[in-house]
Structure 1
Amino acid sequence: MKVFKNGNLMVVTDDRGIIDCESEKAAGLYLEDTRFISRMILKSSLTLRRLHTDFSWDGIETHYLGRSKPGILHYDIAVSESLRAEGNTLHAELTVRSYSLEEVRISFEYDINCVFEDIFSVRGENDSYNELESSRILSSSSRSFQYESDLERDTVENSLSARSLEIRPGEGASVSGKLRLGKYVKKDVVFKKMLSERPVKDIVPVKKTSLLDERELGDLKMLMIPTIYGDFPGAGLPWYATVFGRDSLIFGLQTVDLLPEITKNILKVHTYLQSKEEDSQTEGQPGKIVHETRLNELSLTGKLPFERYYGSIDATLLFIMLSHRYYSQTNDWDFIRSIENSIMEAAEWIDTYADLDNDGYIEFAPSGSGLSIQSWKDSADSVSFSDGRLAEPPLALVEVQGYLYDTFKCLEKLMALFEDGERATLYALKAAALKENFNRDFWLESENYFATALDKNKNPVDSITSNPGHCLMTGIVDEERAGALVNRLFSEELYTGWGIRTLSSKMRRYNPFSYHNGSVWPHDNSLIMLGLIKYGFYEKARQLARDLLKAKDKHHDNRLPELFSGLSVSETSGKLIEYPTSCSPQLWSIGTVLVISKALDA
């Protein structure tokens, strides 16, 4: 699968650059969580031999050869097909060069299939997705095509009509056209109102790093969503080309020192989408930061809660953490002052809603309408005891308490900036108490390691996972326990030679091909790397950085993917076993490359 994108239009092809869902299930033209077109294939009056396709972040160029007459000795017609995304529009240009001894007449047209499918239907994750209508046909001679429901009107404006060219010997000619996609939503949708129909802007890091090359910058531009608040990084292609709270905020933590302008855009958008009311369907609560926003039909109709969904236990904490890091990096007081109310509302959410039983820890108990696990490992089976039993909510996740500690420390400093000394002192006291209690309640003496969580009965969930590694980044781990934590992270049960597994190979639920129970996630490792640097484990940070780069080199498209198999280097004789549906490019993984650069320089 290949993807290109420059704006909100996304084009998915197979590995040869062909847009046809018969050769690649996900192939097509997408806009705002809807597949508008599932096939777009060039047809010609001559038989053309496809040579190769050149891929770039915003388009592809495919080269063909043909014979002007059947049976002649040599190919004498060269055709180049260029497809470029720009905003909501796909531009197509055909360039023909004739080496025939006679005048040649060639005709072209596109075979286009227009389907207007919900992106969740394309993924096929639930039987209910089959209720959506599909198989709407757009012929190559149509000027436009439209699908309309009670909630939306989707349109394709088509200027790719059939064309004929007459070319004299030794000369060339070209034709061009475009498809413009549009989605009009008939109800008031906050996310839709902030989108902008334009290509993305250039990305200019404030300082150079050797690992942020044209490939990574192109991948990042592909992920960008143009908004009225600036370009915002989507989570991953093709399935997560939208706003995700946790993903974007963690990317900000990874890159604020190199890409502060993107961090600023992230904070602006989350301020705009911040919840203002309680809503059990979307799990919204005043001050809470959004988990995910969608414009697909299932979300607009309410069959899925993702039009604006808030089922994330950590996004609000990460928002406060990133706000303070942005100020520390830029001294942009005017901007921080402009989002002061949002910071205060996020802090109020912590005090009012996040601690369900007033024990000092943040827990989640899902409402049943959305995600059952609301931390970054959001698979339903990702929080289990060592013997495989699933932990019952409310759950207090270990890394979330680390984020909470970091948040309290950030609020202490932010309140001082806002000239509220009383609250600054309050948050300093909260941070100190949390650190003391955390190192007592989450520590497993028998394992010399931290528990993954506390379950509904406050029992430590004793599985050995990567989660406690995030706590190093936040500073909540007592110095005398940091060494034991690091040694376990780099032990054979967790360390594969490519990176740190999500779950120890000694645990009952370990599966190196699972999503969260034994796989390796580069972003997970990047946050651990930041913690290793913070606590002075520089050589371990460099080791992890070098091994992740080896994994990048072994990946089929030389990218760090969303995740890969947890099989060790020794188990695979040095081959990286990939995860079949991993997003690539993926936002966190691009951020990981920049953290690797920091680790190598530490």
Structure 2
Amino acid sequence: MDEIIQVKDRYYIKAASCLVDDRTRVLKQGETFAVFDCRGDIQPIGRGEQGLYHEGTRFLSHLEFLLGNQRPLLLSSTVNEHNELLVVDLTNPDLVLDDGTELPRGSLHIFRSKFLWQHRCFERIRISHFGSGHLTLRLLFRFSNDFRDIFEVRGLRREKRGRPLKERIDQGTVCLPYAGLDGVQRRTMIRFMPDPVALSGDAAELLLSIAPGEERNIYLTFCCLIGPEPSVSGRYDDEFGASLTRLEAYRAQHCEVKTSKGHFNEWIDRSLDDLHMLFTDMPQGIYPYAGVPWYSTAFGRDGLITALQTLWINPAIARGVLGFLAANQAGEHCPKTDAEPGKILHETRLGEMAALKEIPFGRYYGSVDSTPLFLMLAGAYFRRTGDRVFLEQLWPHILRALDWIDRHGDRDGDGYVEYQRQSENGLDQQGWKDSWDSVFHADGSPARGPIALCEVQGYVYAARRHVVELAEIMGDAKLAGRQREKAERLRTNFQRDFWCEDLSCYALALDGDKRPCRVASSNAGQCLFTGIAAPEHAGRMADLFLSPAFFSGWGVRTLAEGTAHYNPMAYHNGSVWPHDNALLALGLARYGRTRQAMQLFEGLYHLAMRVELSRLPELFCGFRRLPGQGPVLYPQACSPQAWAAGAVFQLLQASLGLSIDALQREIRFRHPILPSFFDEMTFRNLRVAEADIDLHLIRYGDDVGITVQRREGDIGVVVEK
């Protein structure tokens, strides 16, 4: 990959080939994830990201299964519907065995299955003999590890690395150790059953005797061990059962959604299962890691938005996110990590480079929007659940976050929250579009900091409005009054300083000289989501975002065609992001533009029907949708990705005008619409406080009928039409 040129952004992810060509398969559980090729092997090809990873380090960089000295032929390959298991069907090519026996192609069925559980990868290979004659098969496994940090895999070069230690071999087990520069020894242990006839530090050879009609199993276990951590053994079936039990617990937490459209149900189910796979159990609760492979860790912004997207269907996600981010809230000023008292985390990383501070992301705070989003989620969570005990636990953190907005976020006291990098190695741009070239003026010149992004002011406005409600609950009328006044002043000034009449849009940002970046971008669409936009501007913005310049047919681009820096293949300057579209759709519905919101819903639905596994990627290219052609995928997109998986639930919320108020014991539907691609929908086990309800929705022409099928506890349903 040395031929790839890196420009500006030190955290750019290098690419030598396209993801769709490599056909990778992804598994994740806890702090462990794996990227395999479609045969279930790990190959140093394509983008070079394949491997078995644990806590930010690659513990296995090469794995190849050979029949004799040839790769089996691929029949099929998929991750099963609940993301629990990678299953691969293979068969033999034409072979001449070691004893001279000729084995015709297709005589053997080879079934590989893999899953992750508690920092281990379990594999079973089942070989079935459908040919004639007794066979002795020679099976060869080649393997290696490089213990590279995920940032090395992404393309960063290190001046020094740790050193591999001598392998240790004992009765069907090989241990491959590595001494890191951080003083930590990491080990990959590989177990084979039955025992190999030959085992070394990079290969294992097994002989398998099999008769016609017979079936034989081979088991492999790959353990990722850090420090003195002991290796834990376990049988494949037992460990798989334990992993299923945990996933069932996740599934039991959320409301079940079913519709009359099977393809839409597949999208819903895949999105839920992707979220379950990305969940990681923290001491404070579940946290959705951002995405695999590059962002399999806790990101503040991603976790907060994912929790907002899924709040109506499963508030436990929001509780876990709020608890974790409160526990990791910055307590002091640290320029090296862009930390300031009260600020909410941007991301946290494990691994050798983070431990050595070769990257600033061990615990990094370079995000301007995580803190107001934290306050938004806190307010929305309380309204959804009425959880007073948890609110009281969060209250000191809410006050600190509010103090950060007023003291550090608003650097010059003008009422706007700005950012400018303090860390030498941190992020230049600290909004959700964090590419180095994502904030600029109409002529393409970069904006000089400190930068006040339009959507961030919307987050601050919504955060203050939520704090008004929370302060009243906590009995602090003075704080509530101050926040109400600041919110209204911000909204008034925002119209004056950000609205661009000629663009029919809010400016992307104000630069350090308070000059507006007169660029029409999807950032402004999130101003509808937060409610800071003036009602008289909403209609013009809706028309703009649904115009051909913005709407590709699949979704709204991050930039309009013809804008400086526009490139439909750029990460943030012309691509389409599902989560961004879902936020925009909810914003359109908020201002009574539900019909336009449905166009975004339908675009992403048709996208889900065209991508593998009905799994929305992190982003895709912004090329126009053409008849008979599918979307153009972005080569470096994470898939699965948390806020892409959460998008469908926010789109449903926009469609139905759905809101839940636990204090009022009320589920409200405001001008509900069912999208054109299904006619009926059922919610089962929608929980509000101590109540539980099942609802059935059905289309009647342009109207929607809503029936309560079951109700337990005190909960009402209100429909506005």
TM-score by length of 2: 0.77
Residue 203 of structure 1 aligns with which residue?
Answer: 251
The RMSD of aligned alpha carbons is: 2.4
Residue 280 of structure 1 aligns with which residue?
Answer: 335
Asked if the contact 2:165–2:176 (Cα under 8 Å) also holds between the matched residues in 1, the reply is no
What is the 5 A alignment of 1:63-142? 63-66=89-92, 70-71=101-102, 75-99=106-130, 102-124=133-155, 126=156, 128-129=157-158, 131-132=160-161, 142=173
Deviations 1:499-544 (A, max 9, x none): 1111121212111111111111111111111111111111011111
Residue 269 of structure 2 aligns with which residue?
Answer: 214
Structure 1 gap segments, 5+ residues each: 187-197
Displacement of 1:203: 2.6
In 2, distance between residues paired with 1:435 and 1:72? 76
- One-letter code aligned to 2:570: S
Displacement of 1:168: 4.2
- One-letter code aligned to 1:294: R
Asked if the contact 1:13–1:24 (Cα under 8 Å) also holds between the matched residues in 2, the reply is no
Q: Secondary structure at the match of 2:376?
A: helix
Asked if the contact 2:290–2:642 (Cα under 8 Å) also holds between the matched residues in 1, the reply is yes
Q: Secondary structure at the match of 2:145?
A: strand
Residue 145 of structure 1 aligns with which residue?
Answer: 176
Q: In the alignment, does 2:73 pair up with 1:61? A: no
In 2, distance between residues paired with 1:9 and 1:369? 27
- One-letter code aligned to 2:174: R
Relative to structure 1, is the Cα distance of residues 137 and 26 closer, same or farther in structure 2, using a 3 angstrom cutoff? Answer: farther
Residue 501 of structure 2 aligns with which residue?
Answer: 445
Q: Secondary structure at the match of 1:509?
A: coil
Asked if the contact 1:121–1:132 (Cα under 8 Å) also holds between the matched residues in 2, the reply is no
Residue 235 of structure 1 aligns with which residue?
Answer: 290
In 1, distance between residues paired with 2:507 and 2:74? 56
Relative to structure 1, is the Cα distance of residues 103 and 495 closer, same or farther in structure 2, using a 3 angstrom cutoff? Answer: closer
Q: In the alignment, does 2:223 pair up with 1:180? A: yes
In 2, distance between residues paired with 1:2 and 1:177? 18
Displacement of 1:220: 1.6
Return the match for 1:27 from 39, 50, 61.
50
Return the match for 1:4 from 17, 21, 27.
27
Relative to structure 1, is the Cα distance of residues 352 and 175 closer, same or farther in structure 2, using a 3 angstrom cutoff? Answer: same
Relative to structure 1, is the Cα distance of residues 184 and 429 closer, same or farther in structure 2, using a 3 angstrom cutoff? Answer: farther
Deviations 1:6-50 (A, max 9, x none): 332211012443321236621110111111111112234486732
In 1, distance between residues paired with 2:557 and 2:425? 30
In 2, distance between residues paired with 1:425 and 1:474? 20
In 2, distance between residues paired with 1:237 and 1:231? 17
Asked if the contact 2:616–2:644 (Cα under 8 Å) also holds between the matched residues in 1, the reply is yes
Asked if the contact 2:530–2:587 (Cα under 8 Å) also holds between the matched residues in 1, the reply is yes
Asked if the contact 1:5–1:59 (Cα under 8 Å) also holds between the matched residues in 2, the reply is no
**Segment of structure 1 superposing worse, 147-156 or 463-472:** 147-156
In 1, distance between residues paired with 2:63 and 2:404? 48
Deviations 1:167-210 (A, max 9, x none): 34433332323111123499xxxxxxxxxxx9554233224254
Q: Equivalent pairs: percent with the same residue? A: 34
What is the 5 A alignment of 1:494-533? 494-533=550-589
Deviations 1:388-407 (A, max 9, x none): 11110001110000000001
Asked if the contact 2:180–2:352 (Cα under 8 Å) also holds between the matched residues in 1, the reply is no
In 1, distance between residues paired with 2:379 and 2:138? 60
In 1, distance between residues paired with 2:575 and 2:105? 52
Asked if the contact 2:467–2:480 (Cα under 8 Å) also holds between the matched residues in 1, the reply is yes
**Segment of structure 1 superposing worse, 198-207 or 431-440:** 198-207
Return the match for 2:460 from 396, 400, 404.
404
Return the match for 2:419 from 349, 359, 364.
364
Asked if the contact 1:112–1:137 (Cα under 8 Å) also holds between the matched residues in 2, the reply is no
Q: In the alignment, does 2:190 pair up with 1:158? A: yes
Q: Secondary structure at the match of 1:226?
A: strand
Residue 329 of structure 1 aligns with which residue?
Answer: 384
In 1, distance between residues paired with 2:628 and 2:595? 25
Displacement of 1:300: 1.4
Residue 552 of structure 1 aligns with which residue?
Answer: 608
- One-letter code aligned to 1:387: D
Relative to structure 1, is the Cα distance of residues 369 and 100 closer, same or farther in structure 2, using a 3 angstrom cutoff? Answer: closer
- One-letter code aligned to 2:251: I
Return the match for 1:301 from 345, 349, 356.
356
Relative to structure 1, is the Cα distance of residues 54 and 407 closer, same or farther in structure 2, using a 3 angstrom cutoff? Answer: closer
Residue 189 of structure 1 aligns with which residue?
Answer: none
Relative to structure 1, is the Cα distance of residues 102 and 541 closer, same or farther in structure 2, using a 3 angstrom cutoff? Answer: same
**Segment of structure 1 superposing worse, 77-86 or 4-13:** 77-86
- One-letter code aligned to 2:556: I
Number of matched residues?
588
Structure 2 gap segments, 5+ residues each: 1-23, 197-205, 230-241, 260-264, 657-671, 673-721
TM-score by length of 1: 0.92
Relative to structure 1, is the Cα distance of residues 75 and 301 closer, same or farther in structure 2, using a 3 angstrom cutoff? Answer: same
Residue 193 of structure 1 aligns with which residue?
Answer: none
Residue 170 of structure 1 aligns with which residue?
Answer: 213
Residue 74 of structure 2 aligns with which residue?
Answer: 51
